[in-house]
Structures are given as structure tokens and as C-alpha cells.
């Protein structure tokens, strides 16, 4: 599955290219997308111009029935950061693209009027989408399935993408999304309402006789991983309570590390006991970490929704201080319908609230200002942002651009390299995961660096070393080249050396996002480069080793970094927002976390850069 389908919306031209020669160097998915972005997107072009290219790359193992292998990477120049933009989503969209005969898709140019791109097995059709323009994503998905076929998988935008909101997302059917970096605005700028795909072909396996063995091994390792049961039980909500306990919540725009009554209202146990109805899973996934949730009593009785992800709870529940899971789910539903990235939308609203609370904006200036914990205000603001109306127009470019218009508001615009910060406060623990916000090639995000021995309850031994946190026997079993184990953990294992783990974790997640696997904890902790090398060799006929696969991942990261350097990025931008260096972080039941030390952060970064540069990147 190495065929690239190129669709030019300006000319209507449709071409096919074979990218088989790239398989060994760029793995698939994110890796091939990265190379295509550097090849097809002209340096310096506007992200909202016809010159930008929207790329879709299912992972090279997606759709093979290996566990969790169903994910697709979408990539373009980001309207939010002006740099490398990419997002990942699961379910069956990528599977259907591969079954239609295509491993990759490049959408170029700019249509004169709204279009839907249909990829139906060997048939590629552009149809007028004027009747769908202005409609929300759920309406669009339902209309396509009703009029074109219920088995179509649909990637589409809502009003936010049409109105070129810089953090508009692309919805993956009803409840999943390519969320970060504003790719929905890229679709909107191209007048592309949706990409609907279905296919009936077969995904070929190069060595079918060896496939059952690698499949069995993967399922066994995932199910036997110690985090499997907890992840299946709580999904990503498993970390909601630990982050509160450590005082690392992004409470009220990163001014409170823990919140009163968090466990009783937004913790993982109350979610499971009061709202979880049943488990849901993506294609070929034994974890089933998604949920149908609903309220059996109270003002939300009868309301049901898919979710929540912990990100939803941390953003709307902590950053904006909404007090209940149904309120959070309702805001997420609105974001999905309008086509807004949950993280950036919540960050934008939090920025506006702080500006108002500190006297930098008034209702007379904006027409409306929301308040912490007020659901009605949040709902109204989401509509205003998506439609670029009133105070929403101020926020539609993201918090970095909004802060440039309001003198004195920079402290409230919490972003890294133009992308709104997410998930947890680094002052609570400046570990591998937290420092990954800085080195992430797509900006201030928490999902491109995750340690395979991550343990939130473990502490720091120094600015560049974490406590080991796991038994030495687990390190011995860990799927990681022995030389790297010694560099990261010492011999015998005694600590985690953050700069080396930071690079390794980036490379590992690059492999995962290039193969199409999920990064949920049971996968992250149990499968490593040796497994992925074997799986790739069996499925694609390549000849990877663990070491050569890691080298390919490092090359992919280097290409992303090159893309960003072409667009003006410098190492001076690898810094947290000023608030984290100046203000302590209050938390319940303990002394406040102190501000970060700029010197300590820089020391770790310099060691990390030396490792990257020493590897030839």
C-alpha cells in the first residue's frame, strides 16, 4: 500500500505515484507525510493558500488486524503556528483508504466552490458541496452516509474550518478528530468540506505465514502489560486523579495545580461509577478505552455522549473549571459539531477570562466575556469563535495572535511556538513528558513524547534525572536496544536520564505514529523497536532491525525540524510560558510547587540537543 493519490482542487487533475522506494527510509504514516510535506509544500507559503498541501497517511500497519493498528496521520503547514502541523486519529478512515488501494493522499490547490472528495475503491470523484457548506460535522457525516452509502468513512470540517479558525480540527466521523494544529482551517481554505472514503480491497501481507505469530505476540504483550486493566477500566481518565494528586492540573489557566472536590466531580472513580455506560473500541483494539457515558439522574438525566478523554476533563474541567462530567461532555460535543480543537478552544476561552479578570478587556470592548465554571458562557463562546463573531473573532487566530492585540496579556497566552499548551503543569514535575512540550516539532503539545516507563508518582532526583519508579526486572524485559538502556537507566538501572530518554521517547512515538499503532499506555509500555521492526518486515517485506528503525525515526524527526527551521524557528523558542518561570503553583494540602528554574531547563535542553546533534541530526 504505497500508492500516493494526488488530487489538485484547482485543476481537477488526479494523479497516482508509487512511493515504495520510501518505505525503508520513512516507515509510513507520519514518516512518509513528513517527507511529502518537505517535498510538496513551498517554504514560506501561507498555510491558507493554494500552495499548502493536506496530506493523509495511514500507518504502514494500519488495517492489518494487529492490535490498535488503525490510525492515520494528517499533515500540512499549520495555520496556528506557521510550522509543521500534524494530527493523528483512529477508527476506520485510514483502513478504508488503504482498502481503496491508496497508502497516502495529497490534496493540493484550492477549489473555486465547496467540494466533497469521494474515494470509492478505484473511483475518485469531486462533487459540489454547496448544500453542506455551513452545516456542522454531524449533519455532514449523516448526509453523506444517507445519500452516498452508509459504509463511507468521513473526514470533514464544520463552521470553524469554513471560517478559517486557526485551531479548527478535522472530524473523523462523529466522535474522533484530527485535533491539533489547525488542519480543519487548511481544508476550509481549500473549499474542501469532506473526504469520504470506502474500499473493498485487501491489505496484502508480504510474509503471510509469519503474520499469525507476530499478531499473537502483540495481543499477548498488550494484555499482559500491568497498565492494561486500569486503562481498559478508565481509559485515558486513568491519569485524571494522579495529576490532581500531584498538583499538576491546568486549573484556571494554570494558576491552580489541584481543585477542590476534583475527585468527587471530575476524578476517574466518579466517572466510572456515575457516568460510564459501556466500553467502546477502535478497529482491532483489545483495550477499548473509549466509552459511551450518560447521566442516570439529576439535571443531565438522559443525556448520553461518547467520552470523556482525560484531555476533555483537564481542559474544560480544570482549565475552565466546569464542575461536572456532563457539562464537559456537552462542550466537547459542541466542539466536535463546530469542528474546533478542544485544547486550543479551552485555552482561548481561558485567556479571555483572565484578560477580563485583570481589567484588560471589558464587555464594552468585546460584547461578551465568559466566567470560570459557567457552562452557558462556554457554550456561547464556542459558537462565537467558530463563527468569528464578537469576542470570538479576537480568539480565532489562537492565543499568541490574540495576545499581540491586547497589551499586557502575554502572561495569559499559554502557548509554545504558537500552539496552546495542554494537559498538565510542568511545575508539578519537569520530567521527560513535560520537557517534551518544548522539543515537540508541532508545538506545545503532550502527545509526541511519552516515556515507556512513565510513572507520574515517581519523583525527580535532579533536573536531568527521574526516579526509576519501576522494578529493575521490568527494565531487563523492556523492548529497547541494550546500549540505549545503559545510557538511559545506567548499569545496573538506577535512574532515568531525561535528555537521552527525551530523544528515545520522541523516536519511539515517531515509530508508533508511522506504523499506525495507538500510543495508549499498554502499547507504549509493552511494544518497542524490536517488535515494530519484526512486524514491519513481515507486513511490508522491509528489512528493519531495532537500530535501523530508530535511525529512520530520528531522520523523520530531523526532517520535521528542518521544515520548522525553514519557517524561521530558532532554539530560543524552546521555552515555557513566562508564568511557569515566575509564579509558584498552588495546590491543595501541600506547599506550592516552585517556579521552574530557567537554568535547569536550559541545562537539560542543551544536553538533549547535544545528543540529537551527535546522532547527526
Looking at residue 32, its pLDDT comes to: 98
* Tens-place pLDDT, residues 405-426: 999 999 999 999 999 999 999 9
Could you tell me the pLDDT band of residue 89, with boundaries at 50, 70 and 90?
very high
Same fold yes or no, 3-198 and 237-413: no
* Tens-place pLDDT, residues 534-544: 999 999 999 99
CATH number of 432-614: 1.10.599.10
HEC string of 406-470 equals: CCCCHHHCCEECCEECCCCCCCCCCCHHHHHHHHCCCCCCCCCCCCCCCCCCCCEEECCEECCCC
Q: CB of 469 within 8 A of CB of 453? A: yes
351: how many CB neighbours lie within 10 A of its CB?
26
CA dist 600 and 103 (Å) reads 44
Instruction: Identify the DSSP state of 597.
Output: P
Starting from the edge strand earliest in sequence, which strands make up the sheet with 496-497, in order? 460-462, 465-466, 496-497
Q: Which CATH architecture has domain 237-413?
A: Orthogonal Bundle (1.10)
Q: CB of 205 within 8 A of CB of 505? A: no
Looking at residue 215, its pLDDT comes to: 98
Quick check: 12 pLDDT over 50?
yes
Mean pLDDT over the full length of the chain: 96
Quick check: 285 pLDDT over 50?
yes
Looking at residue 615, its pLDDT comes to: 62
* pLDDT (average), residues 74-89: 98
* DSSP-assigned states of every residue in 30-97: HHHHHHHHHHHSPTT--TTSTT--EEEEE-TTTTSSSTT---EEEEEE-TTTSSEEEEEE-TTHHHHH
Could you tell me the pLDDT band of residue 614, with boundaries at 50, 70 and 90?
confident
Give every CB contact of residue 537 below 8 A, 6+ residues apart in sequence.
Answer: 206, 207, 543, 544
Instruction: Identify the DSSP state of 594.
Output: P
Looking at residue 44, its pLDDT comes to: 97
Quick check: 446 pLDDT over 90?
yes
Q: CB of 577 within 8 A of CB of 416? A: yes
Quick check: 471 pLDDT over 90?
no
CA count, 13 A, side-chain hemisphere, 28: 31
Looking at residue 470, its pLDDT comes to: 87
What backbone torsions phi and psi does residue 198 show, to the nearest 5 degrees? -155, 150
* pLDDT (average), residues 400-406: 97
Residue spans of the domains in the chain: they are 3-198, 237-413, 432-614
Q: CB of 241 within 8 A of CB of 263? A: yes
Looking at residue 616, its pLDDT comes to: 45
* Tens-place pLDDT, residues 178-203: 999 999 999 999 999 999 999 999 99
**3 state SS of 520:** coil
The single residue listed with the C-alpha cell 520522541 is: 506
Quick check: 617 pLDDT over 70?
no
- Name the CATH code of domain 3-198 (choices 1.25.40.10, 3.30.565.10, 3.40.47.10, 3.60.9.10): 3.60.9.10
The single residue listed with the C-alpha cell 499503532 is: 517
Question: pTM higher than 0.95, yes or no?
Answer: yes
* Tens-place pLDDT, residues 328-347: 999 999 999 999 999 999 99
In angstroms, how far is CA 394 from the centroid of its own chain? 25
Residue 270, all three cell numbers: 466518579
Query: What's the burial of 138, exposed, middle or buried (CB within 10 Å: 0-12/13-18/19+)?
Result: middle
Give the CA distances from residue 415 to residues 148, 314, 410, 443, 479, in Å, rounded to whole numbers and listed in that order.
Answer: 41, 16, 10, 8, 34
Quick check: 570 pLDDT over 70?
yes
* pLDDT (average), residues 107-136: 97
* Tens-place pLDDT, residues 571-608: 999 999 999 999 999 998 889 999 999 999 999 999 99
61-65, 436-440, 612-616: lowest mean pLDDT where? 612-616
Instruction: Identify the DSSP state of 28.
Output: S
For the chain, what percent of residues have pLDDT higher than 90? 95
* Tens-place pLDDT, residues 225-276: 999 999 999 999 999 999 999 999 999 999 999 998 999 999 999 999 999 9
Q: CB of 381 within 8 A of CB of 349? A: yes
Instruction: Identify the DSSP state of 573.
Output: G
Quick check: 122 pLDDT over 90?
no
Amino acid at each position: 500500500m504505497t500508492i500516493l493519490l494526488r488530487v489538485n482542487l484547482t485543476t481537477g487533475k488526479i494523479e497516482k505515484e508509487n512511493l515504495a522506494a520510501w518505505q525503508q527510509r520513512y516507515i509510513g504514516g507520519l514518516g512518509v507525510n513528513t517527507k511529502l510535506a518537505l517535498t510538496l509544500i513551498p517554504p514560506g507559503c501561507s498555510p491558507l493558500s493554494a500552495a499548502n498541501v493536506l496530506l493523509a497517511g495511514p500507518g504502514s500497519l494500519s488495517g492489518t488486524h494487529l492490535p490498535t493498528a488503525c490510525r492515520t496521520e494528517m499533515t500540512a503547514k499549520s495555520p496556528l503556528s506557521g510550522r509543521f502541523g500534524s494530527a493523528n486519529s483512529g477508527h476506520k478512515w485510514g483502513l478504508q483508504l488503504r482498502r481503496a488501494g491508496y497508502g497516502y493522499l495529497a490534496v493540493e490547490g484550492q477549489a473555486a466552490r465547496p467540494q466533497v472528495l469521494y474515494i470509492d475503491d478505484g473511483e475518485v470523484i469531486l462533487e459540489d458541496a454547496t448544500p453542506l457548506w455551513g452545516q456542522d460535522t454531524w449533519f455532514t457525516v449523516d448526509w453523506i452516509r444517507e445519500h452516498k452509502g452508509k459504509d463511507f468513512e468521513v473526514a470533514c470540517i464544520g463552521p470553524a474550518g469554513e471560517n478559517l479558525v486557526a485551531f479548527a480540527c478535522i472530524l473523523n466521523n462523529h466522535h474522533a478528530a484530527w485535533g491539533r494544529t489547525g488542519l480543519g482551517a487548511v481544508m476550509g481554505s481549500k473549499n474542501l468540506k469532506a473526504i469520504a472514503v470506502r474500499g473493498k480491497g485487501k491489505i496484502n501481507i508480504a510474509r503471510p505465514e509469519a503474520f499469525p505469530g507476530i499478531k499473537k505476540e502483540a495481543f499477548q504483550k498488550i494484555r499482559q502489560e500491568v497498565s492494561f486493566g486500569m486503562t481498559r477500566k478508565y481509559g485515558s481518565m486513568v491519569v485524571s486523579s494522579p495529576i490532581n494528586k500531584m498538583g499538576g492540573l491546568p486549573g484556571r489557566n494554570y494558576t491552580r495545580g489541584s481543585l477542590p472536590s476534583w475527585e468527587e466531580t471530575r476524578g476517574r472513580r466518579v466517572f466510572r461509577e456515575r457516568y460510564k455506560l459501556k466500553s467502546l473500541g477502535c478497529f482491532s483494539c483489545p483495550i477499548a478505552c473509549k466509552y459511551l457515558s450518560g447521566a442516570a439522574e439529576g439535571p443531565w438525566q438522559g443525556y448520553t455522549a461518547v467520552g470523556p478523554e482525560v484531555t476533555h476533563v483537564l481542559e474544560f474541567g480544570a482549565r475552565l473549571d466546569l464542575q461536572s462530567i456532563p457539562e464537559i461532555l456537552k462542550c466537547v460535543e459542541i466542539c466536535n459539531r463546530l469542528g474546533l480543537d478542544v485544547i486550543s478552544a479551552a485555552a482561548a476561552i481561558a485567556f479571555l477570562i483572565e484578560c477580563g479578570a485583570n481589567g484588560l478587556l471589558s464587555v464594552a470592548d468585546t460584547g461578551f466575556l465568559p466566567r470560570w465554571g459557567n457552562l452557558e458562557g462556554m457554550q456561547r463562546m464556542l459558537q462565537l469563535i467558530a463563527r468569528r463573531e464578537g469576542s470570538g473573532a479576537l480568539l480565532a487566530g489562537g492565543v499568541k495572535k490574540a495576545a499581540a492585540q491586547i497589551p499586557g496579556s502575554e502572561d495569559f497566552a499559554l502557548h509554545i511556538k504558537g500552539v496552546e499548551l495542554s494537559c498538565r503543569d510542568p511545575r508539578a514535575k519537569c520530567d521527560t513528558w513535560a520537557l517534551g512540550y518544548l522539543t515537540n516539532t508541532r508545538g506545545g503539545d503532550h502527545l509526541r513524547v511519552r516515556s515507556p516507563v512513565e510513572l507520574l508518582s515517581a519523583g525527580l532526583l535532579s533536573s536531568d534525572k527521574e526516579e526509576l519508579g519501576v522494578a529493575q526486572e521490568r527494565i531487563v524485559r523492556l523492548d529497547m536496544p541494550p546500549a540505549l538502556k545503559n545510557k538511559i537507566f545506567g548499569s545496573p538501572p538506577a535512574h532515568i536520564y531525561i535528555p537521552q530518554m527525551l530523544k528515545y521517547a520522541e523516536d519511539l512515538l515517531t515509530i508508533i505514529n508511522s506504523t499506525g499503532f495507538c500510543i495508549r499506555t499498554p502499547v507504549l509500555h509493552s511494544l518497542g523497536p524490536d517488535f515494530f521492526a519484526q512486524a514491519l518486515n513481515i507486513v511490508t517485506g522491509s528489512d528493519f532491525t531495532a537500530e535501523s528503525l530508530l535511525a529512520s525515526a530520528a531522520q523523520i524527526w530531523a526532517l520535521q525540524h528542518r521544515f520548522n527551521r525553514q519557517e524561521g524557528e530558532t532554539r530560543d523558542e524552546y521555552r515555557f510560558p513566562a508564568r511557569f518561570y515566575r509564579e509558584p503553583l498552588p495546590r491543595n494540602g501541600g506547599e506550592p510547587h516552585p517556579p521552574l528554574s530557567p537554568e535547569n531547563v536550559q541545562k537539560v535542553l542543551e544536553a538533549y540537543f547535544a545528543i540529537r546533534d551527535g546522532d547527526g541530526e
